[in-house]
Structure 1
Amino acid sequence: MDLLTTGIRRKREKYTVEIKSSLLWESALGIAAITNKALTSTLDLSEKDQGLIYQSLTKDMKEQLEYVQTHNTWKTLLQILHQKDFEDLASFNKYVKSLSSRELKGIAIPFLGEEAEAFKNELSNGSEKALEELQYLTKDHTFFPTYLEFIHKVPIEKLKAHLIEVMSGWFKAIIEPYKGKLEPILLRDKALKEKMLNNFEPDQFVEWATDGVEYPVEPSVHKVLLIPHYIYRPWNVEADLEGVKVFYYAVANESISGESRLAPNKLLVQRYKALGDETRLKILKIIKENNVTLQALTTELELGKTTVHHHLKILKSARLVSQSSNGYGIVDKAIESLPAELKLYLES
Structure 2
Amino acid sequence: MDLLTTGVKREREKYTVEIKSSLLWESALGIAAITNTSLISTLDLSEKDYELISQSLSKNMKEQLDYVQANNTWKTLLQILHQEDFKDLASFNNYVKSLSSIELKWIAIPYLGKEGEILKKELLKGSKDALRELKYITKDHTFLPTYLEFIHKVSIEKLKAHLIEVMSGWFKAIIEPHKVKLESILLRDKALKEKMLKNFEPDQFVEWATDGVQYPPEPSVHKVLLIPHYIYRPWNVEADLEGVKVFYYAVANESISDKSKFVPNKLLVQRFKALGDENRLKILKMIKENNVTLQELTTKLQLGKTTVHHHLKILKSARLVSQSLNEYVLVDKAIENLPMELKFYLESE
Q: TM-score range by the shorter chain?
A: over 0.9
> Counterpart of 2:269 in structure 1: which amino acid?
V
User: Which residue of structure 2 aligns with residue 278 of structure 1?
Assistant: 278
For the residue of structure 2 that corresponds to 1:309, the secondary structure is: helix
Distance 2:42 2:15 in 1: 32
User: Which residue of structure 2 aligns with residue 264 of structure 1?
Assistant: 264
Matched, 1:208 2:208: yes
User: Which residue of structure 2 aligns with residue 8 of structure 1?
Assistant: none
Distance 2:46 2:63 in 1: 22
TM-superposition CA deviations, 1:63-115 (whole Å, max 9, x none)? 11111111110000000000010000000001000111111111001000111
Distance 2:213 2:347 in 1: 26
Deviation at 1:118, TM superposition (A): 1.0
Aligned residues: 337
Matched, 1:177 2:177: yes
Matched, 1:19 2:31: no
For the residue of structure 2 that corresponds to 1:212, the secondary structure is: coil
Distance 2:287 2:243 in 1: 37
Scaled by the length of structure 1, what TM-score is found? 0.93
Work out whether residues 253 and 263 of structure 2, in 8 Å CA contact, stay in contact via their aligned partners in 1.
no
Distance 1:138 1:23 in 2: 30
User: Which residue of structure 1 aligns with residue 78 of structure 2?
Assistant: 78
> Counterpart of 1:21 in structure 2: which amino acid?
S
Scaled by the length of structure 2, what TM-score is found? 0.92
> Counterpart of 1:214 in structure 2: which amino acid?
Q
> Counterpart of 2:19 in structure 1: which amino acid?
I
For the residue of structure 2 that corresponds to 1:110, the secondary structure is: coil
User: Which residue of structure 2 aligns with residue 100 of structure 1?
Assistant: 100
Distance 1:305 1:131 in 2: 52
Work out whether residues 13 and 220 of structure 1, in 8 Å CA contact, stay in contact via their aligned partners in 2.
no
For the residue of structure 2 that corresponds to 1:185, the secondary structure is: helix
For the residue of structure 2 that corresponds to 1:258, the secondary structure is: coil
Residue range with higher mean Cα deviation, 16-25 or 279-288 = 279-288
Matched, 1:32 2:7: no
Distance 2:314 2:147 in 1: 42
User: Which residue of structure 2 aligns with residue 287 of structure 1?
Assistant: 287
What stretches of structure 2 of length at least 5 have no aligned partner?
1-11
Work out whether residues 103 and 124 of structure 1, in 8 Å CA contact, stay in contact via their aligned partners in 2.
no
What stretches of structure 1 of length at least 5 have no aligned partner?
1-11
Work out whether residues 43 and 233 of structure 2, in 8 Å CA contact, stay in contact via their aligned partners in 1.
yes
Work out whether residues 24 and 88 of structure 2, in 8 Å CA contact, stay in contact via their aligned partners in 1.
yes
User: Which residue of structure 2 aligns with residue 4 of structure 1?
Assistant: none
Distance 1:138 1:310 in 2: 38
Distance 2:147 2:40 in 1: 21
**Structure 1 moving runs of 4+ over 6 Å:** none
Deviation at 1:13, TM superposition (A): 4.7
Work out whether residues 14 and 222 of structure 2, in 8 Å CA contact, stay in contact via their aligned partners in 1.
yes
User: Which residue of structure 1 aligns with residue 55 of structure 2?
Assistant: 55
For the residue of structure 1 that corresponds to 2:226, the secondary structure is: strand
For the residue of structure 2 that corresponds to 1:238, the secondary structure is: strand
